[in-house]
């Protein structure tokens, strides 16, 4: 019963409230002897998540400098739990009213559950909690083979859908545009829409698509720890996420079996591999690309609410490093689990 811990062999525990002293991440189960450089391996991912990166995002700007308290010595992990904190700054808690429940937020339900809560900026329910996840995920990446690439991008924001996507993508490719949409024309449309949202106090949701390439086959555990449900659990634990699926799941649900299943049965080298599987069969990786989509509802703080906090008209671009971080945690957990298979 650790509602603030994610993962099994690699376990991330997060703590901190939006307007408390600090956000934190404790990572247990991290193998010893892994080289870590805070500025090279961790801070860049925090920077990618940080608000205030462009005109499109919230004006709150914390800096978000990670500080390691435990687990790394002489540039390498030592088998101890890794503890990292980020101090909270620039939190104007006087903006918040304890008796004011924002619609669509956790305000009322957390009050219902716990009776007593930190009402400042969502407290523990704030999106700021994802700072800890990004830290955890950036450590998790260090456990993946070098050839593994985890890249998320904006597939959709509101009415705009990216269609012209290259077959290969790097994080740099995606980050080249503030919308993180790799279809340049659509990216421009999104920019226009989000500027208008900001003026009108409106917001948009969207879809992040995640590609994981370079994985070996055999990752994922049977029955209740399938790769697909662990990833779904990871993504759906992010505040604004309302759905997730392998590839285009709604399309799969409409398809005719005879057309959907194009793999070849038998006993040859590729026999049994299905292109429609999006990289996961029976819950276990087949060595091909994992493709998942993550659906976000529109940001719930709109219009006159803006004065009660400083929020983005669309969190999708900033959520990409969070989705990637959660994926990295799941993958690293399974990479460790693979050592126990036989």
Work out how close the CB of 110 gets to its own copies at its nearest, in angstroms, rounded to a whole number. 6
**Contact at 8 Å (CB) between 219 and 285?**
yes
177 binds its own copies (CB under 8 A): no
Q: Which stretch binds its own copies (CB under 8 A): 10-18, 57-65, 164-172, 177-185?
A: 10-18
> How far is C-alpha 206 from the chain's CA centre?
14
**Contact at 8 Å (CB) between 62 and 168?**
no
DSSP state of 31: P
Q: Which stretch binds its own copies (CB under 8 A): 4-12, 48-56, 164-172, 174-182?
A: 4-12
Dihedral of alpha carbons 172, 176, 180, 184, sign:
negative
Pick from 96, 110, 139, 153: which binds its own copies (CB under 8 A)?
Answer: 110
267: left (phi over 0), alpha (psi -120 to 50) or beta: alpha
39 binds its own copies (CB under 8 A): no
Per residue, what are the HEC states of 152-197?
EEEEEECCEECCCCCCCCCHHHHHCCCCCCCCHHHHHHHHHHHHHH
Pick from 36, 51, 64, 107: which binds its own copies (CB under 8 A)?
Answer: 107
73 binds its own copies (CB under 8 A): yes
The interface mask with its own copies, positions 52-71, x = CB under 8 A, is: ---------------xxxxx
Residue 134 to residue 125: CA distance in whole angstroms:
16
Work out how close the CB of 322 gets to its own copies at its nearest, in angstroms, rounded to a whole number. 13
Work out how close the CB of 48 gets to its own copies at its nearest, in angstroms, rounded to a whole number. 21
C-alpha angle 179/170/297, rounded to 5°? 35
Work out how close the CB of 127 gets to its own copies at its nearest, in angstroms, rounded to a whole number. 11
Toward its own copies, which CB reaches closer, 50 or 160? Answer: 160
Neighbours of 66 (CB within 10 A): 21
**Contact at 8 Å (CB) between 15 and 84?**
no
Toward its own copies, which CB reaches closer, 39 or 340? Answer: 340
51 binds its own copies (CB under 8 A): no
- Residues 191-220 within binding reach of its own copies (CB under 8 A): 197, 200-207, 217-220
22 binds its own copies (CB under 8 A): yes
From 276, 278, 300, 296, select the one nearest 287 (Cα to Cα).
278
Q: How many CA atoms lie within 13 A of 128 on its CB side?
A: 32
Toward its own copies, which CB reaches closer, 176 or 252? Answer: 252
Toward its own copies, which CB reaches closer, 11 or 56? Answer: 11
Q: Which stretch binds its own copies (CB under 8 A): 46-54, 99-107, 166-174, 177-185?
A: 99-107
Pick from 85, 135, 186, 327: which binds its own copies (CB under 8 A)?
Answer: 85
179 binds its own copies (CB under 8 A): no
Work out how close the CB of 45 gets to its own copies at its nearest, in angstroms, rounded to a whole number. 19
> 315-338 burial string, b = 16+ CB within 10 Å, else e?
bbbbbbbbbbbbbbbbbbbbbbbb
Could you tell me the two tokens for 318? Answer: 């900033």
- Residues 113-142 within binding reach of its own copies (CB under 8 A): 113-118, 122-125, 129
- Residues 250-309 within binding reach of its own copies (CB under 8 A): 250, 252-258, 260-267, 271-274, 276-278, 281-287, 293, 295-300, 302-303, 305
332 binds its own copies (CB under 8 A): no
């Amino acid at each position: 019963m650790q509602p603030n811990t994610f993962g099994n062999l690699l376990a991330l525990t997060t703590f901190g409230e939006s307007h408390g002293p600090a956000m934190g991440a404790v990572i247990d189960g991290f193998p010893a002897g892994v080289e870590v450089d805070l500025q090279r391996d961790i801070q860049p991912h925090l920077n990618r998540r940080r608000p205030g990166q462009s005109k499109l995002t919230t004006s709150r700007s914390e800096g978000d400098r990670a500080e390691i308290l435990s687990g790394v010595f002489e540039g390498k992990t030592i088998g101890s739990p890794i503890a990292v904190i980020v101090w909270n700054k620039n939190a104007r808690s006087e903006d918040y009213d304890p008796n004011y429940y924002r619609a669509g937020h956790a305000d009322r339900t957390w009050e219902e559950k716990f009776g007593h809560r930190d009402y400042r900026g969502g407290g523990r329910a704030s999106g700021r909690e994802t700072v800890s996840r990004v830290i955890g995920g950036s450590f998790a990446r260090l456990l993946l083979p070098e050839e593994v690439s985890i890249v998320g991008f904006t597939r959709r924001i509101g009415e705009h859908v990216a269609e012209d996507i290259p077959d290969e993508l790097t994080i740099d490719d995606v980050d080249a545009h503030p919308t993180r949409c790799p279809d340049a024309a659509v990216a421009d449309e999104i920019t226009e829409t989000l500027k208008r949202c900001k003026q009108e106090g409106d917001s948009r949701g969207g879809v992040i698509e995640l590609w994981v390439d370079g994985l070996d086959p055999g990752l994922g555990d049977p029955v209740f720890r399938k790769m697909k449900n662990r990833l779904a659990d990871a993504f759906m634990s992010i505040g604004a996420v309302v759905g997730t699926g392998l590839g285009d799941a709604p399309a799969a649900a409409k398809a005719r079996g005879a057309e959907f299943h194009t793999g070849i049965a038998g006993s040859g080298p590729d026999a049994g591999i299905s292109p429609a599987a999006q990289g996961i069969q029976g819950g276990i990786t087949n060595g091909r690309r994992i493709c998942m989509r993550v659906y976000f509802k529109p940001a719930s703080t709109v219009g006159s609410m803006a004065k009660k906090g400083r929020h983005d008209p669309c969190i999708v671009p900033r959520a990409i490093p969070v989705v990637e971080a959660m994926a990295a945690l799941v993958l690293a957990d399974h990479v460790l689990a693979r050592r126990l298979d036989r």
